[in-house]
Structure 1
Amino acid sequence: MRLDLADLHLFLCVADAGSITQGAARANLALASVSARLRSIEADAGIALLERHPRGVITTEAGEALAHHARLMLRQQALLKGELQDFATGTRGTLHLYTNTAALTEFLPSRLAPWLADRPRLHVELKERTSSDIVRTVAAGLTEAGIVSDAIDAHGLQLQPVAKDRLALIAPAGHPLAHRSKVHFAEVLDESFVGLAAGSALQDHIEEHARAAGRSLTLRIRMKTFEGLCEMVAHGVGLGIVPQCVASRYRRRHGYRTIALADDWAHRHLCLCFRDWETLSSPMQSLLVHLGARTGP
């Protein structure tokens, strides 16, 4: 049988109406066209599907079987159409968003939560990377978008600032630097540090700048969380470098000192990074607009 979905819909219109005339009206088709199409369906099936009477039609046993399966297939089509629409509008599927540490821990949670809560069938996979890695990945077309620092060279890509991201040095209250309001990174490269766990994009970023200065950081211990890092610093284990907002959050609890980093790379903005707005998927566009993207000129 070569029945298509239009055939099944037409047959159900007639079967449910109990009349070819009324079925044609339900299907918004001409009576002659419907009659011809029904004869073609029966010829293709090789069996009578309708019993025609002066007052209408009734389905044969074969017609009842066809009507049963037609309802299942059309119901499945409606479910499929709904699911595809969900994907198209960003309410279903999986989005991959690459992000640096500051965005992952400080910027995204409060902003992403309400957007994702309104889309219960959508999944977001966040991948923590350094800003330079994210720029390379987006430029290569391996992901649609990311969140990076504006300190990175993103030639050929769109960068749209959405939040400030200043880095600060934290030191124990009794440290010789504790009275300073500002230091350059080069001044503290001989000090011991408390770092973030291996794989942290922020820690990799800091160590890249140490290597650029011809040095390497002395890390006494690595912590998985910012709070753990701050607590270690407060106890005199070493210095730390964290986002300014993190330093402010835990300073009262742990009693360390916060010192501004004077280096340009420490004065940053978090930026949405993508190649071309028109090539982004509809779900990604929706997410980036929610995060603060500007879509106009």
Structure 2
Amino acid sequence: MRLDLADLHLFLCIVDAGSITQGAARAHLALASASERLRRIEDDAGVMLLERHPRGVTTTEAGEALAHHARLMLRQQARLKSELQDFATGNRGTLHLYANTAALTEFLPARLAPWLAERPQLQVELKERTSADIVRSIAAGRVEAGIVSDAVSAPTLVLQPVARDHLVLIVPAGHRLASVGKVSLAEVIDEPFVGLAQGNALQEHLDDHARAAGHALALRIRMKTFAGLGEMVAHGVGLGIMPQAVAGRYRRRLGYRILALNDGWAQRQLCLCYGSWQALSSPMQSLLSHLGKKNAAG
């Protein structure tokens, strides 16, 4: 059989109305067109589906079977249409978003949570990358969008600031620099440091700037979390670098000192990063709009 969904819809309209004339009207078809289409449906089925009477039509046994399956198929089509609409509007599917360390640990949890909670059928896959890696991936078309530091060069992409993300130096309370207001990385490049775990995007970013300032950081130990890094610094193991908001959160409990970094690359803002807004999928547009509005409201 070569019946399409429009055929099934017309057939059900006629069955439910009990009349070819009224069924054609429900299907928004001219009577002649509906009658010809019904004839082709019966010819294709190879069996009579409707019994014609002076006052209307009734289904044959075969017609009842077709009507039953037609209802199932049209309901399934409605479910499919609804699910596809969910994908199109960002309520279902999987979004892939790249973000640097600060965005993953500080910016996204509170900002992303309410938006994602309203979309129970949607998944978001977050991947931690350096800002430079994110920019390269977006420019190459491997990912739609990401969250990066504005210190990165992205001449062909859009950078939309959403949060302040300055990096600071933390030192033990008794350190010789504890009372200094600000320093550059070059001034402390020879000091022992506490770093973040291998592969951490922020640590890779710091390592690049350390080499540009003279040589690689002398890392005595690597920690997986900012809390662990702060503990090590507070006990005099070495110096550390972390986002200002994170450093402020742990300072009272751990007692280290916070120094501003006057390097330009440390005076950062977190930015939404993407190519063309029109090229973004609807779900990604919805997410980025939400993140941008949250910033404007704050």
Q: TM class by shorter-chain length? A: over 0.9
Give the partner amino acid of 1:33. S
Tell me the residue number matched to 1:187.
Answer: 187
Q: Which runs of 4+ in 1 moved over 4 A?
A: none
Residues 183 and 261, structure 2, Cα contact 8 Å, conserved in 1: yes
- For normalisation by structure 2, the TM-score amounts to 0.96
CA distance in 2, matches of 1:133, 1:119: 29
Counterpart of 1:276 in structure 2 is 276
In 2, the alpha carbon distance for the partners of 1:146 and 1:86 equals 22
Percent identity at matched positions?
Answer: 77
For 1:153 and 1:81, how far apart are their aligned partners in 2?
Answer: 42
Q: Which amino acid aligns with 1:223?
A: M
Deviations 1:33-88 (Å, cap 9, x if unpaired)? 22221111101111001111222211111111111111111111111111111111
**16-25 vs 156-165, which deviates more?**
16-25
The question of whether the paired residues in 2 share the 8 Å contact of 1:168 and 1:241 is answered with: yes
Please state how far the C-alpha of 1:218 moved relative to its aligned partner. 1.4
Q: Find the counterpart in structure 2 of residue 95 from structure 1.
A: 95
The alignment covers a number of residue pairs equal to 294
Helix, strand or coil at the partner of 1:292: helix
1:224 Cα shift? 1.2
Contact 2:48 2:60 in 1 (8 A): yes
SS of residue paired to 2:175: coil
User: CA–CA distance in 2 between the matches of 1:91 and 1:228?
Assistant: 37
Mapped pair 1:178 → 2:206: no
Amino acid paired to 1:95 = L
Indicate if the aligned counterparts of 2:100 and 2:147 stay in contact, CA closer than 8 A.
yes
Distance 2:182 2:254 in 1: 20
SS in 2 for 1:11: helix
The whole-number CA distance in structure 1 between the counterparts of 2:225 and 2:77 is 48
Q: For residues 169-206 of structure 1, what are the alpha-carbon distances to aligned partners after superposition, in whole Å with 9 as ceiling and x for unaligned? A: 01111111111111110111111111111111101000
Aligned position for 1:110: 110
Partner residue in 1 for 2:70: 70
Match of 1:13 in 2: 13
Report deviation, 1:293: 7.1
Query: Residue 124 of structure 1: CA displacement?
Result: 0.9
- Asked whether the equivalents of residues 48 and 63 of structure 2 are also in contact (C-alpha less than 8 Å), the reply is yes
Q: Distance in 1 between matches of 2:215 and 2:115?
A: 43
Q: Distance in 2 between matches of 1:184 and 1:233?
A: 18
- Give the counterpart letter for 1:111 in structure 2: R
SS of structure 2 residue aligned to 1:246: helix
Over the residues paired in the alignment, what is the CA RMSD in angstroms?
Answer: 1.3
| CA positional deviation for 1:30 | 2.0
Q: Which residue of 2 aligns with 1:265?
A: 265
Residue in 2 that maps onto 1:31? 31
Query: Which amino acid in the other structure matches residue 282 of structure 1?
Result: S
Q: Secondary structure at the match of 1:84?
A: helix
8 Å contact kept, 1:272–1:293: no
Q: Distance in 2 between matches of 1:156 and 1:104?
A: 24
Alpha-carbon shift at residue 112 of structure 1 (Å): 0.7
Residue number in structure 2 paired with 1:288: 288
Residue 119 (structure 2) aligns with: 119
Normalising to structure 1: TM-score of the pair?
Answer: 0.96
Counterparts of 1:82 and 1:240, CA distance in 2: 51
Structure 1 residue 213: deviation in Å?
2.0
SS at structure 2 position matched to 1:7: helix
Deviations 1:97-137 (A, max 9, x none): 11111111111111111111111111111111001111111
- Take 2:38 and 2:95, find their aligned partners in 1: how far apart are those partners? 46
Structure 1 residue runs without a partner (length 5+): none
- The answer to whether the Cα contact below 8 Å between 2:97 and 2:145 also exists between their aligned partners in 1 is yes
Instruction: Return the letter of the residue paired with 2:226.
Output: F
CA shift at 1:139, angstroms? 0.8
Conservation of the 8 A alpha-carbon contact between 2:92 and 2:121? yes
Asked if structure 2 preserves the Cα contact closer than 8 Å seen for 1:99 and 1:128, the reply is yes
